């Protein structure tokens, strides 16, 4: 199973925000969409926004802990994670689990040729792995019983 398979089931909707938005805007959008991260984009061309980073709940907590100021005065650009870790459609679940564990990320944008194709969370990956394991278990039981 690959990221392509996960996105096929999950869909490719991704919530984004601009780099000039405030952390207060981020919090509002995270709550509105009940999600843990937003992909940060620049829109030189509205049909093909350029991904420049990701802002997560953890980034906001770090800014709060550092006492950098009120959320309404902090921009996404100064707080976001710029060193974006991304997956591609053909990455296996095992590869993705390894990357997410080693790099301690819970949200992985899926990219191809500079274009954002979707976003998967660690929950999406665990759910897909569980489905895969259940299928394999069912297949092996059927094989043994025949």
Residues, the chain: 146
The answer on pLDDT for 35 being more than 90 is yes
pLDDT at 118 (0 to 100): 96
Q: How many domains, in total, are found in the chain? A: 1
pLDDT at 19 over 70: yes
Q: Which secondary-structure segment (H or E) carries 80? A: none
pLDDT, tens digit (0-9, with 9 covering 90-100), for 63-108: 999 988 899 999 999 999 999 999 999 999 999 999 999 999 999 9
Three-state secondary-structure class, residue 86: coil
Q: What is the pLDDT of residue 107?
A: 97
The 3-state DSSP composition of the chain as helix, strand, coil percent (nearest 5) reads 50, 25, 30
* Domain of residue 79, residue span: 3-145
CATH number (domain holding residue 90): 3.10.580.10
pTM of the model: 0.86
Distance between CA atoms of residues 125 and 73, nearest Å: 35
pLDDT digits (tens, 9 = 90+) for 98-137: 999 999 999 999 999 989 999 999 999 999 989 888 877 8
What does the pLDDT read at residue 134? Answer: 82
Strand-pair partners of 107: 121
pLDDT at 25: 97
């Amino acid at each position: 199973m690959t990221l392509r398979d996960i996105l096929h089931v999950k869909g490719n909707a991704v919530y984004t925000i601009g780099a000039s938005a405030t952390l207060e805007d981020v919090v509002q959008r995270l709550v509105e969409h009940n999600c843990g991260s937003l992909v940060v984009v620049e829109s030189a061309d509205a049909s093909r926004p350029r991904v420049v980073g990701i802002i997560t709940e953890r980034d906001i907590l770090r800014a709060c802990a550092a006492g950098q100021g009120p959320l309404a005065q902090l921009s996404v650009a100064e707080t976001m994670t710029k060193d974006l870790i991304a997956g591609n459609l053909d990455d296996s679940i095992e590869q993705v689990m390894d990357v997410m564990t080693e790099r301690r990320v819970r949200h992985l944008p899926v990219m191809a040729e500079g274009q954002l194709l979707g976003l998967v969370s660690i929950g999406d990956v665990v759910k897909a792995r569980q489905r895969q394991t259940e299928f394999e278990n069912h297949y092996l039981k059927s094989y043994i019983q025949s």
